[in-house]
């Protein structure tokens, strides 16, 4: 079983992490680093992907930045856990739909461990709970090494996620677990950032096929 390095980045500006991911992707292509999973939280920003740019989507009232991952617009901010897999996918894994499906399954299994029923919607990739999109996925590949990843809305502020619309998604479709009332499990244990991270790592080997190494801290000054 291959291993995957786990980097806890804390809170990092999106543009800083985007540049770091590009460097890590090149390092992974060259086998200078192992498969790596970055766990991070971003200050508020809406990333605007190629689809949104082509469709002329306008985002008012939010800071924005263009991104080269697939898809349209995605909110990032406090209370959202972002998981970026810098992974060299094997020959038998090399299907974009298959890889996205694995990430969807990974989130679904992590939610299940917290007592939350989640599912896929064939109309749009990601993970859904009670008719709302909780997890968004967007990737970019070079030589079948992935960059970017998935974001999970856990305890996002106010209605910042809910008020955002665009790319065929009406306002209110995206939301967080807390907004849906999923703040504690049936045993009274909190469903927070640490809990979702724990659940993801517990299911990493089964779903992603890579055993997680002991998490280590990461700062922007240390790329490798």
* Catalytic-role residue among 114, 135, 167, 204: 167
What length is written for the chain?
A: 224
Q: Which of 46-71 are b and which e, b meaning 16 or more Cβ less than 10 Å from the residue's Cβ?
A: bbbbebbeeeebebeeeeeeebebbb
Distance CA 212, CA 91 (A): 21
Sheet with 64-66: list strands edge to edge. 64-66, 45-48, 73-76
Distance CA 105, CA 113 (A): 12
- CA distances 119 to 92, 162, 184, Å, are 25, 19, 19
Closest CA to 80 of 164, 220, 196, 206: 196
Q: Is 167 a catalytic residue?
A: yes
Closest CA to 106 of 184, 21, 37: 37
Q: Which residues are identified as catalytic?
A: 167
């Amino acid at each position: 079983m291959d291993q995957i390095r786990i980097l806890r980045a804390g809170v990092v500006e999106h543009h800083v992490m985007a540049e770091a991911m590009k460097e890590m992707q090149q390092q992974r292509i060259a086998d200078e680093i192992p498969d790596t999973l970055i766990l991070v939280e971003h200050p508020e920003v809406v990333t605007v992907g190629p689809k949104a740019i082509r469709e002329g989507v306008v985002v008012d009232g939010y800071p924005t930045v263009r991104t080269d991952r697939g898809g349209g617009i995605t909110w990032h901010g406090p209370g959202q856990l972002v998981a970026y897999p810098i992974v060299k996918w094997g020959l038998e894994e090399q299907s974009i739909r298959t890889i996205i499906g694995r990430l969807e399954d990974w989130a679904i299994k992590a939610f299940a461990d917290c007592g939350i029923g989640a599912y896929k919607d064939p109309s749009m990739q990601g993970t859904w709970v009670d008719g709302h999109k909780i997890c968004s996925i967007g990737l970019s590949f070079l030589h079948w090494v992935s960059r970017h990843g998935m974001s999970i809305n856990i305890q996002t502020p106010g209605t910042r996620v809910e008020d955002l619309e665009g790319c065929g998604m009406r306002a209110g479709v995206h939301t967080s677990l807390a907004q849906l009332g999923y703040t504690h499990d049936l045993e009274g244990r909190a469903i927070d950032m640490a809990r979702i991270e724990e659940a993801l790592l517990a299911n990493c080997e089964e779903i992603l096929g890579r055993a997680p190494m002991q998490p280590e801290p990461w700062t922007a000054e240390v790329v490798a």
